[in-house]
Amino acid sequence: MSLPKSSGVLILLAVSASQAAIFIVINLLFPGTVGDSLMLISRWIGLVAVVGYCLKKSSLTTWIFGSMLIGTAIGTDFPEVAMNLKVVSQLFLKLIKTVIAPLLFGTLVVGIAGHSNLKQVGRMGWKSLLYFEVVTTLALLIGLLAINISQAGVGIELPVGEVPLQGTARTWQEVILHIFPENIAKSVVEGEILQIVIFSILFGIGLALVKDGKKKQVMLSFTESLSEVMFNFTRIIMYFAPFGVGAAIAYTVGEMGLGILVNLFHLLVTLYVALLAFLVLVLLPIALLLKIPVIKFLKAISEPVSIAFATTSSEAALPKAMEAMEKFGVPRKIVAFVIPTGYSFNLDGTTLYLALASIFVAQAAGIQLSIADQLLMVLTLMLTSKGVAGIPRASLIILMGTAASFNLPMAPIFLILAIDELMDMARTSVNVIGNCLATCVIAKWEGEFGLPPEENLELIESEVVVVQELPQSVKN
C-alpha cells in the first residue's frame, strides 16, 4: 500500500527523531572520540537513507526537507565546506529575484485590465488593507504580551563596550513618499516590491481605460504571455530549490553552530511560542470561520513555506506561493493583487517579531517602559516597516532605526543578531502563511473562492452538470 504524498515530510521528521535518539544512546555508551566517530557514521548512513527516500518520492517538498537535513549535517561535520556553500544559496536567491518584477507586472496588469473591472480593484484594495490592519495589529499585541510574560531580556549581560552604530528611522512623510516609484527601473533593481506594485496597478488602470480595442489587446496579450512565461521560468528555477535551500542551511549551521541556541534560547522560545499562538489564535480561527479547508491549505503552502523557512526570504517563496494559491482555487487576479500588497502591509511574522524584539532591547538595557511607551514604540515600528522588501534580516534595519529614535542602546541588537537567522526562519514562514491565507480571505469576501483556473473555464463550462454546480458568477 502506497503512502500519501503528504507523508514524505513526516517520514523525514521521524528519521531525524530516530537519529537524535541513536546519537543519545551512542553518546551514553561510547563517550569521547569513539562515540563521535560512531555518531558521524550513523548520521551519514541515515542521510543516505533520506536521499534514497527522496529519489523514490520525487516530490519537491520532500527534496527540500531532505536537503535541510543534509545541509544541517554538512554544516555540523564540515563547517569549512559549508561556509563555501553560501554562493549556492545566493545564486538561488538571485534567480528568484529575476522573476519578481516581471511576474508582478504581468499578473497585476492582466488582473486589472483583462479579468476585472476597476471597481473590483478598488474594492479588493480597501478590503485587503482593512484585513491587513486588523491581523497585523493582533500580531503586535501577541508579541507585546509574549515578551512581557517571558521577560526574556531581563538579566541579560550586555557586552563591554558598545559598537557605535546608528539607525535612521523614517518619518511618516518619508514612508508615504517611499511607496511611490520615481523610476521603475530603479525600483526593479533595488527590489522595491511595493513600488513595483503601485506602478503595475497604475499601468493596468491606464490600459483598462484605453478605448482602442486593438491597441489594448496587443498589450494585454503581451502581459498575459509574460506572466505565463514567468510562471514557467519559476518552475525551472524550482528544480534548483533543494540545492539552494540545503546550501543556505549548511552555511547557517557552519557559521553559527548548533550551540548558538544556548545564550539566547529564552528569546528564541518566546518568539516561536508567540508565532505559534498567532497561528492558532488568529489565523486558524479565520480559516475555520470562512470554511477554508485547513488540511488542503497546509498541503498547498508546504513548498513555499519550506522555501521561506530555509532561505529566510519571503521573496524567494513569492512565485511558488502565487502559483500554489491559484491551484488552491484563488483567482489569479486576486492572487496577483493581494500577495504582493501583503508583502508590504501584511508581514505578520515580522510585525510580531519587531514588537517582541524592541521590548527585549529595552529589557536587556534595564529600561522600564510603560504600556503607553510600548504601544507608541510598536506603532512606530508598524509604520516604519511598511514597504520593506522581503529580504533576509531587513527587519534588523528597522529595529535599529527605531531603537535610535527611542534612545535605546544598540548592544542588545547585536545579541539578537547572533540568532537572527533562526528567528528569521520562523517569522518569514509566518509571513508567507499569513499572505497565502489573505488571498483566500479576499477571494471568499469577493465570492470567488474555489473557481476553476481561467485556462480551464471554457472546458468546464461545456459540461452542463458541472456548470450547474458552479457559483452564479462563473456561469455568467
pLDDT digits (tens, 9 = 90+) for 42-80: 677 777 777 787 777 777 767 877 887 788 888 877 888
List Cβ neighbours of 216 (8 Å cut-off, separation of 6 or more): 113, 207, 210
Domain boundaries, given as residue ranges, for the chain: 7-85, 118-179+258-445
At position 347, the amino acid (one-letter code) is: L
Pull the grid cell for residue 423: 528567528
- Separation of alpha carbons 139 and 133, rounded Å: 10
SS3 breakdown of the chain: % helix, strand, coil, rounded to 5?
80, 0, 20
Angle 118-150/265-278 helices, nearest 10 degrees?
140
pTM of the model: 0.62
- Separation of alpha carbons 248 and 82, rounded Å: 9
Could you tell me the pLDDT band of residue 114, with boundaries at 50, 70 and 90? low
Cβ atoms within 10 Å, residue 421:
19
The dotted CATH code for 118-179+258-445 is 1.10.3860.10
- Separation of alpha carbons 445 and 323, rounded Å: 20
For 84-94, the pLDDT digits (tens) are 888 887 888 78
- Separation of alpha carbons 451 and 368, rounded Å: 53
Could you tell me the pLDDT band of residue 7, with boundaries at 50, 70 and 90? very low
- Separation of alpha carbons 67 and 310, rounded Å: 10
Would you say residue 280 has pLDDT above 90? yes
Could you tell me the pLDDT band of residue 222, with boundaries at 50, 70 and 90? very high
- Separation of alpha carbons 447 and 244, rounded Å: 38
pLDDT score, position 172: 64
Q: Which of the pair, 37 or 181, is modelled with greater confidence?
A: 181
